[in-house]
Amino acid sequence: MLIAFDAKRAYHNRRGLGNYSRDLVRLVTNYAPDNEYLLFNPRESGSLTLPYSDLVSEVLPSSVWRLAPSLWRSFGCVDDIRRLGVELYHGLSGELPFGIHRLPVKKIVTIHDAIFMRYPDNYSACYRHLFLRKCRYACRTADIVIAISEQTRRDCIDYFGAAPEKIRVVYQGCNARFRQQLSRDELSACRQRYSLPEHYLLYVGAIEANKNLDNLIRAMGIARLQLPLLVVGHHSKYVGHITTLARQEGVHLELRHDIPFADFPAVYQQADAFALMSFFEGFGIPVLEAVCSHIPVLASNSSCLDETGGDAAIYADPASPEDIARQLQRLLYDNELRAQLIANSYPQAERFTDLKIATNLINTYKQCF
């Protein structure tokens, strides 16, 4: 079978959507090598390393479409899908090219979240209109809609009008490196390379308002924690705000914007604990990365994070710095609880193994035919 992917994020995105795309290509090529795979890339190059194999080929826009790569991705690639004889096209980030409904090709779309609908003030009206249109078209056109969590499944129905009977929940995994215990020398080299504190509470992800670093920092101030908060994420305009807030709250904030993904496992494995207090997530890959790294986890009790963290995490109200403070003190100082969370992380991590994720994904592909 010839399967094609919208690979824009795989080539050009270093965050969650890019990691999802790259990991999915890795899984299907490893576990379904009887297929051939095409990666539709709207712009040549891309500095990210892809899980290439002999089964994978890159497709780029040709002729006039090279001057308008975004339009090729949204419209023009339909001609290439037809010309190349693609049998199944998978949109990996919430959209399918307009016009694909006229082709006999089977169509799958992955929907990650509806955050732009839940928090409209964080997005421009133009952005909301465009992505609502894209998501609704994709959900209407696709033979199967993949939701990355039960929370996202409900949002596909409520916000995008997806037919419940064609939604499949296929959880994400995380890079297998997080399951590998690194040596002392590897850990020490990472600590020295990035001047990591000896002890720290870890946050990994985008540095933006929805991630609710504000209340995490306020909670650390309330609890009078002397432990540094290590924030790993790309620089943003929000950095100045949390830096000022940390100073006001007496919180030791450590920011790292330059750590490559390959070194993330070493950063997780040396943390005293991990915290993610987002108001909303579609899945929460950093929580799974922390679970697979076998460190204690605190997550918000909103959206889907209890699906990801299970019994390997404890939970707090993201709107309450006082509740977050109470749970942080338990997470960091209750040794019996910490030991139980670490023990629970092993069976929880097993729910998201490569084999299980790949099997669910490949079975979903087969259901299209």
Residue range 325-346, pLDDT digits in tens: 999 999 999 999 999 999 999 9
As for how many domains the chain has, the answer is 2
- Residues 306, 311, 312, 313, CA torsion sign: positive
pLDDT value for 362 = 96
Is 25 found in the same domain as 65? Answer: yes
Is 315 found in the same domain as 203? Answer: yes
CATH of the domain at 101: 3.40.50.2000
Is 276 found in the same domain as 219? Answer: yes
H or E stretch at 78 = helix 77-83
- Residues 332, 334, 339, 345, CA torsion sign: negative
Report the first-to-last Cα separation within the chain, whole angstroms: 11
Is 188 found in the same domain as 87? Answer: no
Is 249 found in the same domain as 109? Answer: no
Q: What's the burial of 305, exposed, middle or buried (CB within 10 Å: 0-12/13-18/19+)?
A: buried
Is 169 found in the same domain as 75? Answer: yes
pLDDT digits (tens, 9 = 90+) for 125-145: 999 999 999 999 999 999 999
pLDDT digits (tens, 9 = 90+) for 50-94: 666 778 999 999 989 999 999 999 999 999 999 999 999 999 999
Is 141 found in the same domain as 103? Answer: yes
pLDDT value for 188 = 97
Is 161 found in the same domain as 18? Answer: yes
pLDDT value for 104 = 96
Is 357 found in the same domain as 256? Answer: no
Is 81 found in the same domain as 59? Answer: yes
230 is in which domain, residue-wise?
A: 177-350
Is 329 found in the same domain as 250? Answer: yes
pLDDT digits (tens, 9 = 90+) for 38-57: 999 999 876 566 666 778 99
The stretch 33-37 carries a mean pLDDT of 94
Is 269 found in the same domain as 122? Answer: no
